[in-house]
């Protein structure tokens, strides 16, 4: 994104990868170690996956801006982004660069987009892409994601059944994200479509606690937000 903006610090959206601290790019690591301010989302319990991934690389004395992003109702995280954006702008206007730590890739279903909208009008923003879950999950599964002229479809699990059904119908490979509490419903839908046997479940890819299972073997009563289901069309790839 190009400048032409008032002289200020730069916002860097830093993709820190899916969990394994070695899956960060050299560019993101260099910037993380050079910026005076970092910001990152934190959950209700005060933990931050993005921060935890790069913890060993954070330079002593770096100013930290936690962004409160409670799960739940749409819009629940808005005040957290608003407050963090105001704090970040204070640093930017004082000429300090700010690195925003983003799990996976900043712009692949990443919350960085909410800051981008708030900051890009007045400040220079640069995005450093990261290894995202869409590539990490097939890697730990050991199966191709897509090839040749395959249609790859990405579906957020919270979508209603008819949207999921339509997406699955047109795809060679389907990645279902944000599985969490929707797991029993998604499993029932895949059962109905005769696809459960073609589906793989990946939880916390590349993180401690990683699980890779055929979907049929997963206990649907215990669902984790950081999980993805990969479904392969009959006779295809898997
Ligand atoms: C809000 S999206 C963020 C995606 C992230 N920006 C990325 O680039 O992968 C969160 C969803 O991504 C998927 N996800 C992220 N990291 C994952 C991981 N390490 N293992 C499995 N799924 C993951 C899950 O489906 C999770 O519900």
The pLDDT score that the predictor gives to residue 142 is 96
97 close to ligand 1 (CB < 6 Angstrom): no
Beta carbons within 8 Å of 148's beta carbon, 6+ residues apart: none
Confidence (pLDDT) at 2: 47
Which tokens go with 71?
């799960």
Q: In what side-by-side order are the strands of the sheet with 199-203?
A: 152-156, 173-177, 227-232, 199-203, 211-214
pLDDT the model gives residue 7: 65
Percent of the chain with pLDDT over 90: 83
2 contacts: CB under 8 Å, gap ≥ 6: 124
Instruction: Please write the tens of the pLDDT for every residue from 33-90.
Output: 999 999 999 988 889 999 999 999 999 999 999 999 887 767 788 888 999 999 999 9
pLDDT of residue 219: 95
Written as six digits, the tokens of 159 are: 């979508």
229: left (phi over 0), alpha (psi -120 to 50) or beta: beta
Ligand 1 in reach of 186 Cβ (< 6 A): no
Is the CB of 77 inside a 6 Å radius of any atom of ligand 1?
no
**Distance from C-alpha of 208 to C-alpha of 211, rounded to nearest angstrom:** 9
Atom of ligand 1 nearest to the CA of 131: 8
How much of the chain exceeds pLDDT 70, in percent? 95
Q: What is the pTM of this model?
A: 0.93
Residues contacting residue 60 through CB under 8 Å, at least 6 positions apart? none
């Amino acid at each position: 994104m190009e400048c032409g903006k008032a002289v200020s610090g730069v916002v860097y959206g830093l993709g820190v990868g899916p969990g394994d601290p070695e899956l960060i790019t050299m560019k993101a690591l260099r910037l993380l170690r050079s910026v005076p301010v970092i910001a990152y989302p934190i959950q209700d319990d005060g933990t931050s996956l993005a921060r935890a991934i790069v913890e060993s690389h954070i330079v002593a004395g770096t100013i930290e801006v936690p962004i409160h992003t409670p799960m739940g109702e749409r819009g629940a995280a808005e005040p957290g982004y608003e407050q963090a954006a105001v704090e970040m702008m204070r640093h930017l206007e004082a000429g300090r660069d700010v690195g925003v730590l983003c799990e996976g890739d900043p712009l692949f279903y990443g919350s960085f987009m909410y800051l981008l909208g708030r900051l890009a009008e007045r400040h220079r923003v640069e995005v450093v892409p990261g290894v995202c879950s869409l590539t990490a999950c097939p890697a730990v599964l050991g199966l191709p994601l897509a090839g040749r002229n395959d249609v790859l479809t990405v579906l957020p699990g919270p979508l209603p059944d008819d949207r999921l059904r339509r997406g699955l119908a047109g795809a060679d490979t389907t990645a279902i994200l944000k599985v969490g509490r929707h797991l029993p419903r998604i499993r029932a839908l895949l059962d109905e479509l005769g696809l459960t046997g073609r589906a793989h479940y990946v939880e916390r890819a590349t993180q401690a606690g990683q699980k890779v299972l055929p979907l049929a073997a997963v206990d649907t009563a215990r669902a984790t937000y950081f999980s993805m289901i990969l479904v392969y069309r009959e006779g295809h790839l898997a």
